[in-house]
Structure 1
Amino acid sequence: MESLTLLSYFQDQFIEAGCDEAGRGCLAGPVFAAAVIFASDYCNPVLNDSKKLSEKQRLELRPVIEQEALAFAVASVSAEEIDKINIHRASYLAMHKALDMLGMKPGFLIVDGNKFIPYQEVPHACVIKGDGKYLSIAAASILAKTYRDEYMENIACDYPDYDWRQNKGYPTVKHRQAVLKLGFTPHHRKTFRVTDPQLTLF
């Protein structure tokens, strides 16, 4: 069976969950992930990749997703854990934790991106730019993004110099400059090295 035919077969035969993460490229804060299950005939013309929506649109869609999904869950992995296992494994771990919390076990997973660590014995397909192709992945991207943004805004009160309300932990110039001047906070990923004007990974 060709890959696209196989994907269609699993989507027709099994309860499908879409998974995505937010915060992989950040310098500070946890990585968040979400898993969402919709009815097979679910339709929402507004749902799209979270990066293509405004903050207002994402916040408006969040309660809609939570009310209309058959099941959803959001989970996170801390900056400390990211430092221990690396950001890639932490992203997959966050997805696995979200799947654990769904309350119903999917028979098939569609995951945004090109790599994934298998979850239990559930078959999966990785879909590049899947958040722009499948509603459940788009919904997962919105939940992961909005929950993470909310988290960063809350902890920003304790560390105003790092501008987390605006940058949400991403390595903007202002954020990097603050780290170079003031050092890391407990929320920073210590295995990420800051240079000015470029962020690199060890």
Structure 2
Amino acid sequence: MPYEAPTHSVERSLRALTGAKIVAGVDEVGRGAWAGPVSVCAAVTGLRRPPEGLTDSKLISPKRRTVLAKTLESWVTAHALGHASPEEIDDLGMTAALRLAAVRALEALPVRPDAVILDGNHDYLGVPWKVRTVIKGDQSCVAVAAASVIAKVRRDKMMAELGVEHADFAFAANAGYPSPVHKAALKERGPTPYHRLSWSYLDGLPEWRHLKKTRGKADGSVPEIEGQLGFDF
């Protein structure tokens, strides 16, 4: 599939406008899944030429993505992953869970970024991080694309390992996302300990609907981070 290779233009812009020396690209995976964590990767790449074929992880075949992730893990200057568990997602809501996973990833880096590029148009990080949001950043920004690929491959591996214990759910194939096999297993067996119990899929399962939890807030946020805007420059 033809694609336009990501560049360092956003990283260069942040360096020029803000003096940022260390810029991290951040991307998440697992936001829409029924089971498993939401996972965030933070990657620092510098301005070196990226490996051939780098782009948004969703545009790369699983086999190629696995090979590329291995290459990226040794190519990037630094990277780290952070996760928020299904229980944390249920308790906090997705916005706060995303922030928790992202902060865990950023704080696990061996260097603290001067600026962060977030994929999308919503700054779920907030202060004290200096954030620039970029729509389709996983296709246009080298650091975000690298984070996208690493996060996807690492989370898929986690879900495949969970699938050994719960084979009927086919986590190795669906990574915890909705699928006919996943829905059939839920109907027959009910949610596993790795399922999010505040998700609406339980509304369609009368036998298991009593297990549904109320989210932290209807919009997925929590009071502790509301109103704390970052520096979207």
TM over 0.5, shorter chain: yes
Equivalent residue of 1:110, what SS? strand
Query: What amino acid sits opposite 1:11 in the alignment?
Result: R
From the two aligned structures, give the one with the greater strand fraction: 1
Percent of pairs identical after alignment?
34
The aligned counterpart of 1:92 is 99
SS of equivalent residue, structure 1 residue 92: helix
- Is residue 137–residue 144 contact of structure 2 (8 Å, CA) maintained in 1? yes
Q: Counterpart of 2:54? A: 47
Tell me if 1:192 matches 2:199: yes
The separation in 2 between residues aligned to 1:63 and 1:11, in whole angstroms, is 28
Aligned-pair CA distance for 1:45 = 3.4
Q: Per the alignment, do residues 101 and 132 of structure 1 end up closer, same or farther by CA in structure 2, a change over 3 Å counting?
A: same
Cross-structure match for 2:15? 11
Q: Does residue 1:172 correspond to 2:172, yes or no?
A: no
Give the Å deviation of 1:7.
7.6
> For residue 124 of structure 1, what is the amino acid of its counterpart?
V
Over 3 Å counting, the alpha-carbon distance change for 1:168 and 1:94 in structure 2 is: same
Calculate the TM-score normalised by the size of structure 2: 0.78
Structure 2 residue aligned with 1:21: 28
Do the aligned partners of 1:27 and 1:171 also contact (CA within 8 Å) in 2? yes
Q: Are 1:176 and 1:196, in contact at CA under 8 Å, matched by a contact in 2?
A: no
Question: Contact (CA 8 Å) 2:81, 2:151: kept in 1 or not?
Answer: yes
Kindly indicate whether residue 166 of structure 2 is the aligned counterpart of residue 162 of structure 1: no
Matching of residues 42-191 of structure 1 within 5 Å: 42-118=49-125, 120-191=127-198
Please give the secondary structure, in 1, of the residue aligned with 2:165.
coil
RMSD of Structure 2 on Structure 1 (CA)? 2.1
Per-residue deviation at 1:33? 0.6
Q: How many residues align?
A: 195
Deviation string 1:43-72 (CA, Å, 9 cap, x unpaired) is 333110000001111111112111111110
Counterpart for residue 39 of structure 2: 32
Quote the offset at 1:42 in angstroms.
Answer: 3.3
Alpha-carbon distance in 1 for matches of 2:143, 2:10: 18
Change in 2 beyond 3 A, CA 1:164/1:136: same
